[in-house]
Amino acid sequence: MDLNEAQKRIRWATFAVLAVLAVLLTILDRTGNLDTAFGVIRNPMASIMGWTSARTYDLEDVLEGPRDLETARNEIALLQDRIDTLERENEELREIEGEYQLLLDLFNRARQAPDYQRLTASVIGQDSNQAVRSIIVDKGSADGVRVGMPVESSRGLVGQVFRTTPNSSQAVIISDSSSAVPARLGNSRATGILRGGGVGGSLTIDWIDLKHQLQVGEVVLTSGLGGRFPQDLVIGRVIEVDRREAELFQRAIVQPAVDFDSLEVLFVVTDFEPVDTEIFNELQQ
């Protein structure tokens, strides 16, 4: 190969390299990477270190992921504990609100009939004998409770004390089959004896004269006759009338105003002015 041929090839190679560089620079300029390319040319070590640092940060993010996840789990556990605490506090506040409302109802009931002397008592148990419907309260003979005293709640008549100890009392509920309460209907003014139906039975008022036109929905109250109960204690409402013209008397089925299964706090009526009927007994003798 002669010298001229070699020089010609060098010139073409140089021209090709320059052309490629020109195209490359044009592309870098249009894409906005020309300054970056010059930076790499001027300081290649700095560029390499920058790229390495970027990869290092990416690796750190990957390694920190599990730690962040564990932190998030711990925060979730703490938040769940806080939620549980707040829910428990809400339940306690609801319980306090219920007790407050119950005491307010009792206060309103006492204010409606200020002539009666009452003793507030809490229900602490029920008779284990299913054949007897009764409750046990935390007030007894040491507190002034005596056998025969009426027991009422804020909604109406509950029953009557039939057994006492120094610190507790047992009261038979009016729905028990042994219970008998002189009653009067609010609208028709008919009177009769309210009797309990026992377990699964209904409250009924027997011995109502046929001359009275009973109505479903009438309020049933204590009549006060016999002196065992005060007058006008709410018992319930008439839900059915059993009237047969062939019979001498009619009767009424009564829904009690009190839910006997949810009693918590109630009154023992320790003193009231009974209807005095002793004078009639003396005249008969």
Q: Rounded mean pLDDT of 101-115?
A: 64
Region for residue 127 given its phi and psi (left: phi exceeds 0; alpha: psi -120 to 50; beta: otherwise): beta
Most confident of 12-21, 65-74, 243-252: 243-252
| pLDDT (0 to 100) of residue 82 | 85
Q: Is the pLDDT of residue 60 over 70?
A: no
Q: Is the pLDDT of residue 140 over 70?
A: yes
Identify the CA nearest to 235 among candidates 136, 120, 158, 133: 158
Give the count of beta carbons closer than 10 Å to the beta carbon of residue 257: 18
> What is the CATH class of 117-274?
mainly beta
SS3 track for 73-119: HHHHHHHHHHHHHHHHHHHHHHHHHHHHHHHHHHHHHHHHCCCCEEE
| pLDDT (0 to 100) of residue 92 | 75
DSSP calls for 20-50: HHHHHHHHHHHHT-HHHHHHHHH-HHHHHHH
Computed over every residue of the chain, the mean pLDDT equals: 79
| pLDDT (0 to 100) of residue 171 | 95
Higher pLDDT, residue 92 or 102 = 92
| pLDDT (0 to 100) of residue 283 | 44
Q: Rounded mean pLDDT of 46-64?
A: 54
Q: Report residue 3 CA to chain centroid gap.
A: 107
| pLDDT (0 to 100) of residue 16 | 67
Residue 193: which pLDDT band, with cuts at 50, 70 and 90?
very high
Place of tokens 């029953």: 159
Residue 102: which pLDDT band, with cuts at 50, 70 and 90?
low
Tell me the C-alpha distance between 184 and 214, whole Å. Answer: 11
Higher pLDDT, residue 45 or 213 = 213
Statement: the pTM of the whole predicted model exceeds 0.85: no
Rg of the chain, C-alpha, whole Å? 47
